[in-house]
Amino acid sequence: MVFEINGYIVFEAVDGKDGLIKVHQHQPDIVLLDVMMPNMNGIEVCQRLRSNPETADIHIIMLSGAGMVDDINQGLLAGATKYVTKPVPPRQLLDIVLEVAQAQSVAVK
């Protein structure tokens, strides 16, 4: 909700497979990706997005309750632009998205 209030267009997915479909349909600038999802986890979704030339350059912010060094490294090695441990307040998540967008010169609205 915090993204829509701030003028972002948001597409939601129910699981990893649906997420891949939505990314291919809408070609977003940034994907917020939870690690733990049904049908296909976030690591696999991230790897698939990175391996496809059409989606390889999309910025991926991976979210997870798993914050151990190995978990973070796994997310970053899969291709995440940034790895954020939960819980994260909505306003802080918005700031992280803005940081990634500005650092990568992404149009964010």
CA-CA distance, 94 to 38, in Å (whole number)? 25
Alpha helices in the chain (DSSP H): 2-5, 16-26, 42-51, 69-78, 90-103
Q: For the domain that residue 87 is a member of, what is the CATH number? A: 3.40.50.2300
Percent of the chain with pLDDT over 90: 84
Instruction: Please give the single-letter amino acid code of residue 107.
Output: A
**Number of domains comprising the chain:** 1
Percent of the chain with pLDDT over 70: 94
pLDDT at 21 over 80: yes
pTM: 0.89
Tell me if 108 is assigned to some domain: no
pLDDT digits (tens, 9 = 90+) for 44-80: 999 999 999 999 999 999 999 988 999 999 999 999 9
Domain with 97 in it: 2-103
Tell me if 12 is assigned to some domain: yes
Residue 63 phi, psi dihedral angles, 5° rounding:
-115, 135
pLDDT digits (tens, 9 = 90+) for 88-109: 999 999 999 999 988 865 444 3
